[in-house]
Amino acid sequence: MLGVATLSYSAPTTGATVTLVKNSYTVINPSGNIAALTISLPGSLSNKDYFEIKFTRTVTAITWSGQTVGNSVPTTAVAGTYLRLVYRSSNTTVY
């Protein structure tokens, strides 16, 4: 989390959407495991913009929206999962 401009916490329930802020660290902290979560990425990104995400509980199904994500971006998370995603402008994809 070195040099992170924004730190936020979210406590979603199943079926909720969490909207991320670029160049930020988000802790996804539901009260229990959840079956489904949509994570929305902002529409206006620059090369090397990033997102750091920490999951405190298991999320069975993650749907990504707002940007194209690479095949390596997970669609599930277990408690303790940490992700650092980076935007590549040359192919408009988040990895």
pLDDT for 39-78, tens place per residue?
999 999 999 999 999 999 999 999 999 999 999 999 999 9
pLDDT for res 3: 60
Q: Do the beta carbons of residue 71 and residue 93 sit within 8 Å? A: no
Does the predicted TM-score (pTM) go above 0.75? yes
Q: What distance in Å separates the CA atoms of residue 85 and residue 31, rounded to the nearest whole number? A: 24
pLDDT for 2-17, tens place per residue?
Answer: 565 799 999 999 999 9
Please enumerate in sequence order all residues whose Cβ is within 8 A of that of 81, keeping only pairs 6 or more positions apart, or say none.
Answer: 53, 54, 55, 74
How far from chain centre, in Å, is Cα 83?
A: 7
Does the structure show a pLDDT above 60 at 88? Answer: yes
Please enumerate in sequence order all residues whose Cβ is within 8 A of that of 53, keeping only pairs 6 or more positions apart, or say none.
Answer: 20, 25, 26, 27, 28, 39, 81, 82, 83, 84, 85
How far from chain centre, in Å, is Cα 30?
A: 14
